[in-house]
């Protein structure tokens, strides 16, 4: 919860709110716009994803959230992948 608002996901360090919306939000667009405006006035970034998009492409949704998080943190990926430099390639086990 951020003040009086309930959000789906929040990263307090990045000040990023992720809303995963279903069709019920089509009727609540005025409320959502007011809440988004208030959150943004407090320095939060709000992104919205549709339930159907998250279900049909969970990897894409996760990547979008990670990229936006990195952007909010100043361009640093929140969990950088380990470097592959100097590693030998894995060999097949067959």
Residue indicated by tokens 């943004």: 40
Write down the pTM of the prediction: 0.69
* Cα 84 to Cα 11: distance, rounded to the nearest angstrom: 29
Look at residue 33 in the predicted model and tell me its pLDDT. Answer: 85
Task: Name which residue leads in pLDDT, 6 or 4.
Answer: 6
Long-range Cβ contact pairs of 74-77 (< 8 A, separation 24 or more) = none
Contact at 8 Å (CB) between 46 and 76? no
**Which residue reads 């019920």 in tokens?**
24
- Domain parsing of the chain, residue ranges: 9-72
How confident is the model over 12-54, as pLDDT tens digits?
999 999 999 876 655 666 888 888 999 999 999 999 999 989 9
Question: If pLDDT is split at 50, 70 and 90, which confidence band does 57 have?
Answer: very high
Beta strands (DSSP E) in the chain are 9-11, 16-21, 45-50
């Amino acid at each position: 919860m951020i003040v009086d608002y309930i959000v789906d996901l929040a990263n307090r360090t990045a000040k990023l709110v992720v809303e995963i919306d279903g069709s019920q939000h089509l009727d609540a667009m005025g409320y959502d716009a007011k809440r988004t405006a208030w959150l943004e006035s407090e320095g939060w970034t709000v992104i919205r994803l549709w339930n159907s998009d998250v279900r049909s492409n969970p990897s894409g949704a996760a990547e979008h959230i990670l990229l936006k998080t990195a952007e909010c943190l100043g361009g640093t990926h929140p969990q950088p992948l380990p470097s592959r430099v100097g590693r030998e390639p894995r060999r097949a086990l067959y």
